[in-house]
Amino acid sequence: MAAQESNSIIIDSSQSSEEKDAALINELPSALFWDAMEIRKWKGFWFEPGLIKCAMKFSSSFQAGNDDVLLASAPKTGTTWLKALCLCILHQNHNIPENEDLLTQDNPQFHVQTIESSIYSTKPTPDLYSTPSPRLLHTHLPFNLLPNSIMNSNCKIVCVARNPKDTLVSLWHFFNSIFRGNQEPYPLEKAVDEFCTGVHQYGPYFENVLGYWSESQKRTEKILFLKYEEMIKDPKEQVRKLGLFLGKPFEKEEDLEKIVWRCSLERLRNLEVNKNGSVIYGVPNGSYFRKGIVGDWKNYLNLEMEDRINQTTLLKFKDSGLEFEN
């Protein structure tokens, strides 16, 4: 079947349905995310209202193709890295010279867009027809908000997750750099508290991660669940697993090594395209690369904050079998 047919998206963009959505969003519980933006609680998760509108469209109308690959991640858990890796694996990147690969041309966030915040917010009726198959897409949305067509098709999902304390610290740095400018950083105690109660963009983090984890335990052929810490510890092994899952196993060790290097933080951070001030989603390309280590939280969280997150994690992940190194 032609890509154009299999990738069709039907959206009811009539005024009345938009008005209905807007009215519904206005009724939702509201809070302020780190003094910067209004967020509202929809189906158990917090988002800024514009995102809810896009998520509603995505959930109700997106038609997944059988060979689509959907990447999923709570914010700051390794999205950029996963985008780069899957892009390279699916494009057999090791077969082209290093200075010609897609990553030298633009940030991974540009090549693999976050569907609800980019594709659906830039155009009311997104045109994914031109995207060649297999489509590689990304979402920060939790599992329970995914469109039915994703679950009912053969489309694969790769989720990356990261320990909560590093996730929070990464989010806090990113947030301060984008929203606080020359102001003092947002008070970390408050950020910890709101992270634990789940009142932040795409939060609660815990439920977001758990949704994918639980499903990955039931449907191993459908969802691959990667942990950032394991990718840092043994990138070759994790990328080998990823290649296999995507149906692109590495035949030669050197091909695998090439891709691990091409997607490394060290290389991406130093590419001209990530240093020259280019912007995606209003964010400089370079902001997606900071330290990329495990345990950076130790440099920021005091004992009380550490304990608060540990207790919340224990409670939330209890009996799930999900654990992170940190």
By annotation, the residues acting in catalysis are 140
Q: Which residues contact 19 (CB under 8 A, 6 or more apart)?
A: none
Comparing CB distances to ligand PAP, the nearer of 20 and 291 is 291
Among 68, 101, 166, 194, binds ligand PAP (CB under 6 A): 166
Among 163, 170, 208, 238, binds ligand PAP (CB under 6 A): 170
Tell me the closest approach of the beta carbon of residue 292 to ligand PAP, in angstroms.
Answer: 3
Tell me the closest approach of the beta carbon of residue 252 to ligand PAP, in angstroms.
Answer: 22
Please report whether residue 268 would count as binding ligand PAP according to CB under 6 A.
yes
Tell me the closest approach of the beta carbon of residue 259 to ligand PAP, in angstroms.
Answer: 11
Strand partners, 46: 41
The strand pair at 69-73 and 156-161 is best described as parallel
Among 39, 62, 64, 75, binds ligand PAP (CB under 6 A): 75
Question: Tokens 């519980």, residue?
Answer: 29
288-307 binders of ligand PAP (CB under 6 A): 288-292, 296
- The secondary structure of 129-179 as a DSSP string is TTSPSSPEEEE-S-GGGS-HHHHHSS-EEEEEE--HHHHHHHHHHHHIIII
Among 3, 151, 265, 273, binds ligand PAP (CB under 6 A): 265
Which of the ranges 73-81, 270-278, 298-306, 308-316 carries the binding residues for ligand PAP, by CB under 6 A? 73-81
Lay out the site mask for ligand PAP across 244-263 (x = CB under 6 A, - = otherwise): -------------------x
Strand partners, 185: none
76-115 binders of ligand PAP (CB under 6 A): 76-81, 84
Three-class SS state of 57: helix
Buried b (16+ CB within 10 A) or exposed e, 97-125: eeeebbbbeebbbbbbbbbbbbbbbeeee
C-alpha distances out from residue 1 to 4, 222, 314, Å: 8, 22, 48
Q: CB of 312 within 8 A of CB of 246?
A: no
Please report whether residue 236 would count as binding ligand PAP according to CB under 6 A.
no
Q: Which residues bind ligand PAP (CB under 6 A)?
A: 73, 75-81, 84, 166, 170, 173, 263-265, 268, 288-292, 296
